[in-house]
Structure 1
Amino acid sequence: MTLVSENIFEVKDLQQQGGQITATLRLVEDNPILNGHFPGQSVVPGACMLDLVKTVIGDALSINIQLKTAGNIKFMQMVTPADADELNLKITHKPIEAGFISLNATILKAETACFKLQAVFAIL
């Protein structure tokens, strides 16, 4: 069991094949970050979704990485405690030059995209 993003997400299943990584996620509903963002209508902060992608790809590939550029970040639907057991992460990645990795990532609830990211990370 891997916990990421200040223990907001639990990775229940992680699969890696070639340039594809998929993960089944569970949202930890009682995390204090959710209580403060926003009181009365808890949502997962966007920074935590970005950190989730960084942590999962780093763990899956056994590398330390740092965000270099984010060409496109889209928050398409809120992720709330009601979505606790319906989340999936899909990442497509490839090396682009020595010391850098390019990726596209999507967080989905059921089949609906909530978050999309196109980014380049530096391998540390």
Structure 2
Amino acid sequence: MLQQTDFFQVKELTKEENKFSAQISLNKEHEIFQGHFPGQPVTPGVCMLDIIKELCEQEYQKEVAVSAIKTIKFLSILDPQLQSEVVADVTVLKQENDTMEVKAELKDQEKAYFKFRGTFTDFE
């Protein structure tokens, strides 16, 4: 098991050319869920985007920042008590110099929670 952050862990990672898929486990005890929202935890949208960013950083061994968002959709509530394990599918559509255009999705076997298409830029 790969340790990512105290917010989530990568349990399994599969790679293809310009694509990777990570099975991740959310830490349902993380302090962010105490405030978002007490008694009914919801994974914040910014955290879903950050999962994709951190996975790209790990995969490409460089620090990146979101530089453009083409589309971002929050499709379903991601409750860590009910859906603590999800899959992050990431496809790099184009990579030039210090930027990469990415299409990503967080989902489980039943539904998609988050879809993103945008650009990450090297953060140096």
Q: 1:62 maps to which residue?
A: 61
TM-score (norm 1): 0.91
Which residue type is aligned with residue 70 of structure 1?
Answer: I
Instruction: Give the residue type in structure 2 aligned to 1:8.
Output: F
Tell me the SS of whatever aligns to 1:82: coil
SS at the partner of 1:78?
Answer: coil
Which segments of 5 or more consecutive residues in structure 2 lack a partner in the other structure? none
Which amino acid letter does the alignment assign opposite residue 84 of structure 1?
S
Amino acid aligned to 1:3 = Q
Question: Aligned letter for 2:121?
Answer: A
CA–CA distance in 1 between the matches of 2:120 and 2:20?
A: 16
The ranges of structure 1 where at least 4 consecutive aligned residues each deviate by more than 6 angstroms after the TM superposition are none
CA RMSD of aligned residues (A): 1.3
Partner of 2:104: 105
> Which residue is 1:48 aligned to?
47
Give me the whole-angstrom Cα distance separating, in 2, the residues matched to 1:94 and 1:2.
Answer: 27
Deviation of 1:2 (Å): 2.0
Cross-structure match for 1:3: 4
Q: Which residue of 2 aligns with 1:82?
A: 82
Structure 1 gap ranges (5+): none
What amino acid is the match of 1:2?
Q
TM-score normalised by L of structure 2:
0.91
Calculate percent identity across the aligned residue pairs: 26
Question: How many angstroms apart in 1 are the aligned matches of 2:93 and 2:107?
Answer: 21
Question: What amino acid is the match of 2:46?
Answer: A
CA deviation digits over 1:60-115, x for unaligned, max 9?
11121111001111000011121113x10000004343211000000002241100
Residues of 2 paired with 1:112 and 1:23: CA distance? 16
Matched residue count: 121
Distance in 2, Cα, partners of 1:15 & 1:61: 14
